[in-house]
Structure 1
Amino acid sequence: MGKRPTLESVEVRGVVMPLRRPVVSKVGQFAEWPLLLIDARTSDGVVGRAYLEPYLAQSLRYVAPAVRDLAVTCVGKELDPIARFQANRRALNLIGYGGVAAIAVAGLDMALWDALAKAAGLPLACLLGGSLEPVPAYNSNGLWLTEVATLADEAAALVGEGGFGALKLRLGRTRLADDLAAIAEVRRGAGADIKLMVDFNQGLSLGDALDRCHALDDQGLYWFEEPIVYDDLAGYAHLTKVLKTPVQLGENFYGPRDLLAAVRAEAGVYVMPDLTRIGGVSGWLRSVPIAAAAGLQVSTHLYPEVAAHLMCVTETAHWLEWQDWADPILAEPFKVREGRIEIPDRPGCGIDWNEDAVKRYCVDV
Structure 2
Amino acid sequence: MSIIMTATALLADIAVEKDRTDAVQAFVKQETILVEITTTDGLQGTGYAYTIGTGGTSVLHLLREHLLPLLAGEDARNVEALWQRLFATTRATATGAITSLALAAVDTALWDLRCKRAGEPLWRLAGGHRREVPVYDTEGGWLHLSTDDLVKSALQAQQAGWAGVKIKVGKPRVCEDAERLRAVREAVGPSLHIMTDANQSQTISSAHRLAAALEPYDPYWLEEPMPADDISGHARLARATRIPIAVGESMYSIMQFRNYLETGAASIVQVDAARIGGITPWLKVAHMSESHNVVVCPHFLMELHVSLVAAVPNGKFVEYIPQLRAVTRTELTVRDGMAVAPDEPGIGIDWDMDSIDDRRVS
TM-score (norm 1): 0.92
Partner residue in 2 for 1:43: 40
Query: Contact 1:154 / 1:189 at 8 angstroms: preserved in 2?
Result: no
Q: Given the superposition, is the C-alpha separation of residues 66 and 158 from structure 1 closer, same or farther in structure 2, using an over 3 Å criterion?
A: farther
Moved more, 73-82 or 29-38: 29-38
Query: Which of 26, 50, 53 is the matching residue for 1:53?
Result: 50
Partner residue in 2 for 1:67: 63
Deviation at 1:259, TM superposition (A): 1.0
**1:262-281 counterparts in 2 under 5 A?**
262-281=260-279
What is the alpha-carbon distance in structure 2 between the residues aligned to residue 326 and residue 303 of structure 1? 9
Per-residue deviation, residues 149-179 of structure 1 (Å, max 9, x unmatched): 432233344556x642311110111122321
Count of aligned pairs between the two proteins: 359
Query: Contact 2:123 / 2:308 at 8 angstroms: preserved in 1?
Result: yes
Between the aligned residues of both structures, percent identity stands at 26
Partner residue in 1 for 2:8: 11
User: 2:152 matched to 1:153?
Assistant: yes
Moved more, 138-147 or 220-229: 138-147
Partner residue in 2 for 1:324: 322
Per-residue deviation, residues 168-217 of structure 1 (Å, max 9, x unmatched): 11011112232123223434665653210100001111111111111111
Partner residue in 2 for 1:290: 288
What's the secondary structure of 2:37's corresponding residue? strand
Deviation at 1:110, TM superposition (A): 0.8
What's the secondary structure of 1:23's corresponding residue? coil
Deviation at 1:120, TM superposition (A): 1.6
Q: Given the superposition, is the C-alpha separation of residues 188 and 21 from structure 1 closer, same or farther in structure 2, using an over 3 Å criterion?
A: farther
**1:125-274 counterparts in 2 under 5 A?**
125-130=123-128, 133-146=131-144, 147-159=146-158, 163-187=161-185, 193-274=191-272
What's the secondary structure of 1:254's corresponding residue? coil
Residue type at the aligned position of 2:37: A
Query: Contact 1:41 / 1:47 at 8 angstroms: preserved in 2?
Result: yes
Query: Contact 1:132 / 1:345 at 8 angstroms: preserved in 2?
Result: no
What's the secondary structure of 1:37's corresponding residue? strand
Deviation at 1:299, TM superposition (A): 1.4
Per-residue deviation, residues 34-67 of structure 1 (Å, max 9, x unmatched): 22222222222322122212111x4221111122
What is the alpha-carbon distance in structure 1 between the residues aligned to residue 87 and residue 334 of structure 2? 35
What is the alpha-carbon distance in structure 1 between the residues aligned to residue 130 and residue 222 of structure 2? 30
Partner residue in 2 for 1:22: 19
Query: Contact 1:49 / 1:352 at 8 angstroms: preserved in 2?
Result: no
What is the alpha-carbon distance in structure 2 between the residues aligned to residue 319 and residue 83 of structure 1? 30
Deviation at 1:129, TM superposition (A): 4.1
Deviation at 1:89, TM superposition (A): 1.8
Structure 1: 5+ residue runs without aligned partners?
none
